[in-house]
Copies of this chain bind each other. A is one copy, B any other.
Amino acid sequence: MRITELQTLDLRFPTSLSLDGSDAMNPDPDYSAAYVVLKTDAGLEGHGLTFTIGRGNDLVCAAIQLLRPQVVGHALAEFTEDMGGFYRHITSDSQLRWLGPEKGVMHLATAAVINAVWDLWARSQGKPLWKLVVDMTPEELVRCVDFRYLTDALTPEEALEHLRRMAPGKPEREAQLLREGYPAYTTSVGWLGYPDEKIRRLCRQALHQGFTAFKLKVGRSLEDDVRRCRIVREEIGWERHLMVDANQVWDVPQALAWVRQLLPYRPLWVEEPTSPDDILGHLALQKALQGSGTQVATGEHVQNRVVFKQLLQSGAIGFCQIDATRVGGVNENLAILLMAAKFGVPVCPHAGGVGLCEYVQHLSAIDYIAVSGALENRYLEYVDHLHEHFVEPVVLQQARYRLPQRPGYSAEIWPASRQAYRYPDGDYWKSRLGG
């Protein structure tokens, strides 16, 4: 099977019209997907996407097109027989590497292409992506990872040894996840801008749906944050989890002062307290919070495995929040899962946006079944946005993700949605912008 064409689509959903998704750093996101379709001479397609929040989604589509020579004309088997080499291949055009390396627009583009290739591979094998990966031998899984820049923290040999130890328990864990699903937390109760009464109402709804963990956006007004934390605790009690998320608005000293005021409400984690580039800043906060019951979490803006490596090896984070499209797709996320397992840090993926829940459910399933073997303190983010546009939307039952069953990586968007939300010439945008 040969890849014969790479198409990109700039899809934007007008989420800024409501306050859903607003936080202290991002007041008006239009959830968007730089969307890739790989066509093959076998008729099969691979679909992939990267998530952005609006302006600049065109730039990511243009960056994806720059990767076209890396993919089009190649046989799928060239890639799948050495997936670690495939990652290196995609990220090693030296002129394009200069624009990163492995960060920002080029790396978002890399993620979309890599995810599309994995989707194609999984479809060609007739398996959902998580199943394709958990069925790999330890040797096969390790070969999917490019260990460049990682070997001071994790060698291929260590990874292999770890996976071999985990292998015997895989069938049992897989059966358990198929039976029970993967635990989720909800971010939908506490976007900035929601009035207090709405927060109470949404907490009650979420409790009714079975959620046991609830995240609140913070960082705009300390007084508001204290009141909102109190409200959530009043609604959910003290047996369930509250998390808070500042979306990078603080400097390190300010973060510590602010979070201390929220400690009486016992947040499980404080998410993105400062710049995602500040490994030492996160480490300082994590140390200062030691013993408080609250730990530092970050990841949705962490650019690549090298930064995750440092956050993990230094003990700077208590929760590792991988993102399916910020780093270089499935390959780099496997590297991060392996490092998190080595350093004993629970992985709680970032989701929401558009397509991120669809993606990370696979990664969390891989983490539990094949890599960490643990569910303790692991929750997968859930936000109830835009799932209706997906051919295989996530399914939540009793606040647990049901494992996806269709072949592929679950990010295919319905043709009608692609037609409507293509920017700026899809039906929705034409009527809005032309009106």
Please measure, in the bound complex, the distance between the C-alpha atom of A314 and the C-alpha atom of B316, giving whole angstroms. 15
- The reply to whether the CB of A53 lies closer than 8 angstroms to some CB of chain B is yes
Q: Verify if A331 is at the interface (C-beta below 8 Å from B).
A: no
A432 located at the interface, meaning its Cβ lies under 8 Å from any Cβ of chain B in the complex: no
Taking the complex as formed, is A277 at the interface, i.e. its CB lies under 8 A from any CB of chain B? yes
Q: Mark A286-318, 1 if CB is under 8 A from B, else 0.
A: 000000000000000101101101100110000
The yes or no answer to A253 lying at the interface (CB within 8 A) is yes
Task: Verify A54–B151 contact, CB threshold 8 A.
Answer: no
Question: Is there a chain B Cβ closer than 8 Å to A169's Cβ?
Answer: no
Query: Are A99 and B280 neighbours in the complex by a CB distance under 8 Å?
Result: no
In whole angstroms, what is the CA distance A98 to B325 when docked? 12
A54 in contact with B103 (CB, 8 Å): no
Residue A116 at the B interface, CB < 8 A? no
Q: Does A228 contact B (CB under 8 A)?
A: no
| B residues less than 8 Å from A100 (CB atoms) | 104
Instruction: Say yes or no for A52: interface residue by CB 8 A criterion.
Output: yes
Q: A63-B105, A310-B278 are in contact. Are A25 and B97 (CB under 8 A)?
A: yes
A55 at interface (Cβ–Cβ under 8 A)? yes
> Which parts of A29-57 form the interface with B (CB within 8 Å)?
29-30, 52-56
B56/A281 in contact, CB under 8 A:
no
Chain A interfacial positions (CB closer than 8 Å to B): 25-30, 52-56, 58-60, 62-63, 66, 93-108, 147-152, 248, 251-254, 274-281, 284, 301, 303-304, 306-307, 309-310, 313-314
18 further A-B contacts with Cβ under 8 Å, apart from A25-B97, A56-B106, are A26-B94, A28-B95, A29-B94, A52-B99, A53-B95, A55-B96, A59-B99, A101-B276, A101-B301, A103-B104, A105-B106, A151-B251, A151-B254, A152-B251, A152-B252, A152-B253, A277-B306, A278-B310
